[in-house]
Copies of this chain bind each other. A is one copy, B any other.
Amino acid sequence: MDTKPPLPEDALALGQQLCFAVYSVAHAFNRTYKPLLDRFGLTYPQYLVLLALWQTDGITVKTLGTQLGLDSGTLSPLLKRLEAAGFVDRTRDRSDERQVLVSLTQKGQDLKSEAFGILMEIGKATGCSREEAGALRDALHDLTQHLDRPA
């Protein structure tokens, strides 16, 4: 067997790259979500924050960042906008004044019921069954873990 598998000329073609397929589908998801989220004045990353808060309300910026894979440089201004739009409140943690707790307002909580509709729309748009989507999702999780493994 070959120790150095051949790299054909078009190994560098865009269409061959897994990374470009990922890049493209990420943008496609964004485009698909946009009209659905525009109705609520939300961006896609803001929607991800709400998804996290609907699972566990009242968490710190740090915890939110760990769950989403974002740092405070991204989250701080994003949360400010979510607060200005009336979806969340931000309060200093009394027991540790370094931390800021993010919690849903009534408006933020109410939006959760709308999210199920969005979920269905997106599910339809993907064109794959719940099982296919789940399998693909798991494969992507594995890939993410591999890529984030320290070299």
B-contacting 9-mer, from A27-35, A77-85, A88-96, A98-106:
A27-35
Contacts of A67 in B (CB 8 A): 14
The residue on B at minimum CB distance from A32 is B147
**A96 vs B48: C-alpha distance in the bound complex, in angstroms?**
45
Complex CA gap A27/B26 in Å reads 10
Q: How many copies does the complex hold?
A: 2
| A14 touching B55, Cβ below 8 Å | yes
Q: In the complex where A12-B119, A147-B28 touch, is A126 in contact with B18 (Cβ < 8 A)?
A: yes
A17 CB-CB contact with B under 8 Å:
yes
Given A19-B33, A69-B24, decide whether A126 and B147 contact each other with a Cβ distance below 8 A.
yes
**A binding-site residues for B, Cβ under 8 Å:** 5, 7, 10-29, 31-33, 44, 48, 51-52, 54-55, 67-69, 112, 115-116, 119, 122, 125-128, 130, 133-134, 136-141, 143-144, 146-149, 151
Q: 28 A-B residue contacts at CB 8 Å?
A: A5-B130, A7-B116, A11-B119, A12-B115, A14-B51, A14-B52, A14-B55, A14-B68, A18-B134, A18-B136, A18-B137, A19-B29, A19-B33, A20-B48, A21-B144, A23-B44, A24-B144, A26-B26, A27-B69, A28-B143, A28-B144, A28-B147, A31-B147, A32-B147, A125-B146, A125-B149, A127-B143, A128-B146
